[in-house]
Structure 1
Amino acid sequence: MATATTRGRVIDLTDRRALAAHTPADPEVIERARRWKEAALLDFGIKDSVVASWLYAKCHHQIPTTAVPTAAVVASGDGTCLLLYNPVFFDGLGVQGVKFVLYHEARHLIQRHLYVDETLRADPVFTLATEVSINHVVLARLGRQKLPRTPEGGSTGVDPREVHRAYTEDLRGQGLQPLPYDAFVRTDLSIYGELKRMADPPVPEPVCVHLGEGVPVDTETLAGVTKDVLAEVMRQALGGNEQARAELLELAGRTEGGGERLERLWGDLGLAALRGETPRTRRVEWWKRWLADTLASKLREGERLVYPKKLGAVLLSLGHEPMLSRRGPERVKVVLVAFDTSGSMPDAVVEWLTTLVGRTDGVETHWLSFDGEVMPFVAGERVLGGGGTNFQNVVDYAEGRLQVAGRAFEHRPDAVIMVTDGYAPAVTPSDPGRWIWLITDGGSTWPETHNPPMACHRVTTGER
């Protein structure tokens, strides 16, 4: 339940009657604040922000109340949203200040939905980065040079240019080269990465005008509302609304590099069509990129498979598979690939692994299949299902203690790739850092939480 404590009194922030009755402001102040709020929402719909306009259209109850010091959107457990605003605060800001506050809150809620990684959101430096990003965008879109001030002359949020000045001084003090402002604020993650370079990131006390971190929200409600908002704005953008198109392209650009989930979300919304790109006939599967990078890291600099990241990114964007190249004249690298025949084994996984490691110069690949036993396997053959699973047998074979077809494995593998559903007793190889686990759909990812942890990623297959 969302609550606020004001002067020793607990207010339920979903109780509309109690909110309206709490220490009511002067009727004239309430009316002026309501006019500023309505004018701001009208401007959003006409020229400023289609996203903000649709978000507040989802807030069927918009309540002036002194139970909150500034403004907040409460997402209650019944699937509805309430916009709460302090009329005294809004009256002191005027219409332009109110527009800034409401636009900031809308972007904050959208980005709260986009970035769901708890580790990231728990980092105060990332919180600062998102505040810098949001306020930069709001200032630019509203044509403002400075943040609005409270009636008492106080700050209403994080000033992105002040943060950039502090960042510049910090890096120059370390003898490092800072980015200019425009490059610094290019994306949310670019801001975060640059702030992390600082010896002392300027993480201030919370001064944001919204109560997004202080007011509990129902996560499911918030996710549903923001998803509906983005879907509706995308429909308008694809239907020819240039304002909606520009705003979505800007928002997508600012979340660039946010990971697989964000790529999938924008893909599902139809970002490729909005950008005028030809839809891909086959999904770029992020486990492939992850495996290429991880395998390269196992084989060491100067004597490893090298994943050319710039070229790889271009190839992936065009729908092609990434390629590995060999660097250095060192000995041939040995990779052992083992397929679990007891689980679901998509043919596409086998085919791609064959291309990745079986046909790459400088790599000698050995193939196995296993269930309760370890069996030889020829790349290109169909993997047939079996019964039971025993990872320890693969470990024993890789480490030379078990014979297969009357022969022991005579090499020390530089990398072992296990393709499995993960459902078998855990094992601890003698060199866990060389092992890579690809877990098929619905499988157990225990290797990443094992002690010590091992490289582990879930395999996804299918078409867009």
Structure 2
Amino acid sequence: MDASSATAGRTGRATDAASRRRPLIDLADRRALLACRPDDAEVTEAGRRLKEAALLDFGIKESVVAAWLYAKCHYQIPTTAVETAAVVAGGDGTCLLLYNPGFFTEIGLGGVRFVLFHEARHLIHRHLYAEPELRADPVFTLAAEVAINHVATQRLGQGLPTREVPDGRGGVTTERVGIDPREIHRSYRADLREQGLEPLGYDDFVLTDLTIYGELRRMRNPPVPPPQLCVHLAPDGEGPALDDETVGRVVEDALTETMRAALRSGGLARDEMLGLADRSESGGERLGRMWGRLGLAALRGETQKTRRVEWWKRWLSDTLASKLREGERLVYPKKQGAVLLALGHEPMLSRRGPERTKVVVVALDTSGSMPDRVVDWLTTLVGRTDGVESHWLSFDGAVMPFVPGERVAGGGGTNFGHVVDYVEGRLEVDGKRFEETADAVIMVTDGYAPAVTPQRPDRWIWLITDGGDDWPERHDPPMACHRVTTGDS
């Protein structure tokens, strides 16, 4: 999001942006950006603090998607090369958050949240509506501005940012920054009525991004906002660099992480993902496949007609692979996996790297209910995968090694400490100690027992059954943790 005047601190030192030209530099050139420093160090520090506070609010109470997106912007640069803020995705695979600290001090914390949310949604739009022809249409660009600012006002619970600017008579006046969705709707309504057509009400007008686009196309004269209102309204080649491959990777990663949080604990992440899906799912087959891949049906509590996709299985496959060392880890074979799924089989992990044998321990809590199908699937994933040596344990108050297919009897109580001691070689079971070094330990449990801290918590994966306690996620240090759907529904 961008505006026409420049930066000024609340300390009283103001600068008239209209009286000087911005340097014409490559917005992906980090050295050049760093050279465009604000003159006032206090303004720079104040802008940085506002930026940090806004990003913290995103993660806690406002936008999980935006929090993940900005976590992937490894460079966050205060610079006067932009008049407000911009996210740059260069061809080197990195993302940069650029922000003008003076402008941030003008609009305050609420305004900074709005501007950063606006920038994050632009990246999402770039990914969701990736067709170049659509992006090249100025009416769609306007529709994106309307959609983004409408969602921002709803999610953040505030109006457009405002700031004080000179009024030309020696005083100041308050101006709004950005495109007002309701003003655009009023223009749209007046245009259609002049044509003798019936316009939509505001709520129907902003129902989805493509609804806005379609309705604006009905106008005889769609409004054309001045480019200074937002950097994304600038002509092609003059706006921020947005490499499609980088944007796609960063946005997909952020949506994947947010979907995991939504499926695990619901709350803000669930509301945001459902809202984003509702606004974009009708955008074509590619978007439908993307939401299916992310697990939208599971988030909505739906069962697909062709086959059930349980997100915890996909999560475990990804997480187990990530726990194994680079060059020696298991990978999910996408092409082979698609073929297996089409044939009605569950896909398995494949080995990558020179070392053939990896040690995976699977420990099942017999104090809770564990359906046979969960054990069978874990056996398929781990026990029958080439290059993996699997060890199976059942436990309650004691540890009992077993072989899949054997009957597992539970006793009383639950003690995670005994599993940790056995896996780490300190506890004998039937006169034997575990002499291997586990590359990954999968714990399937309801979580109700005193917490433990293994020597290598980064190698432990906790699958928490229905209604269980996901304390490993809150533990210090946190461990990989996900809820398992064990029912038949």
Q: Alignment length, in residue pairs?
A: 278
1:442-457 maps to which residues of 2 (within 5 A)?
none
Instruction: Note if 1:177 corresponds to 2:202.
Output: no
Q: What residue in structure 2 maps to residue 261 of structure 1?
A: 286
1:142 and 1:275 mapped to 2: Cα distance? 24
Structure 1 unaligned segments of length 5 or more: list them: 1-5, 284-347, 349-464
Distance 1:20 1:271, change over 3 A: same
Q: Kindly provide the amino acid, as one letter, of the partner of residue 295 in structure 2.
A: G
SS at match of 1:255: helix
State whether residues 38 and 102 of structure 2, in contact with CA within 8 Å, keep that contact through their aligned partners in structure 1: no
Name the counterpart of 1:149: 162
The answer as to 2:34 corresponding to 1:20 is: yes
Which of 270, 274, 278 is 1:245 aligned to?
270
Partner of 2:211: 190
Partner of 2:109: 95
Alpha-carbon distance in 2 for matches of 1:220, 1:28: 37
- CA drift of 1:200 comes to 1.3
Any conservation in 2 of the 1:25–1:66 contact (CA below 8 Å)? no
Residue by residue over 1:233-265, the C-alpha shift from the partner in whole angstroms, topping out at 9 and shown as x without a partner, is 011111113111100100011113211111111
Q: Which amino acid letter does the alignment assign opposite residue 257 of structure 1? A: S
The residue type paired with residue 181 of structure 1 is: Y
Q: CA deviation at 1:197?
A: 1.4
Whether 1:61 aligns to 2:75 is yes
Contact 1:104 1:135 in 2 (8 A): yes
In the alignment, which residue of structure 2 is the partner of 1:206? 227
Structure 1 residue 39 corresponds to structure 2 residue 60: no
Classify the secondary structure of the residue corresponding to 1:279.
coil
- TM-score normalised by the chain length of structure 1: 0.57
Corresponding residue of 1:317: none
Please give the alpha-carbon distance, in whole angstroms, between the structure 1 residues aligned to 2:226 and 2:104: 22
Aligned to 1:239, the other structure's residue is in SS state helix
- Report the CA distance shift for 1:248/1:118 in structure 2 as closer, same or farther (over 3 A): same
Residue 203 of structure 1 and its aligned partner are, at CA, apart by: 2.3
Partners of 1:21 and 1:156 in 2: CA distance: 27
1:273 aligns with 2:319: no
Give the conservation status (yes or no) of the 8 Å contact 2:145–2:179.
Answer: yes
CA separation of 1:7 and 1:176: change in aligned 2, threshold 3 A: closer
Q: What are the residue-to-residue correspondences of 1:96-175 with 2, within 5 Å?
A: 96-144=110-158, 146-152=159-165, 153-175=174-196
C-alpha distance after superposition, 1:169-188 (max 9, x if no partner): 11111221111111110001
Amino acid at match of 1:278: T
Distance across 1 between alignment mates of 2:184 and 2:273? 26
Equivalent residue letter for 2:128: L
- AA matched with 2:278: G
Please provide the CA RMSD for this pair: 2.0
Gaps of 5+ in 2: 1-19, 166-173, 309-341, 343-489
Q: Which residue of 2 aligns with 1:231?
A: 256
1:49 and 2:63 matched: yes
Q: Which amino acid aligns with 2:97?
A: L
* Percent of residue pairs bearing the same amino acid type: 65
How many angstroms apart in 2 are the aligned matches of 1:9 and 1:40?
27
Amino acid at match of 2:113: K
Q: 1:23 offset after TM fit, Å?
A: 4.5
CA distance in structure 2 between the aligned counterparts of 1:266 and 1:8, rounded to whole angstroms:
41
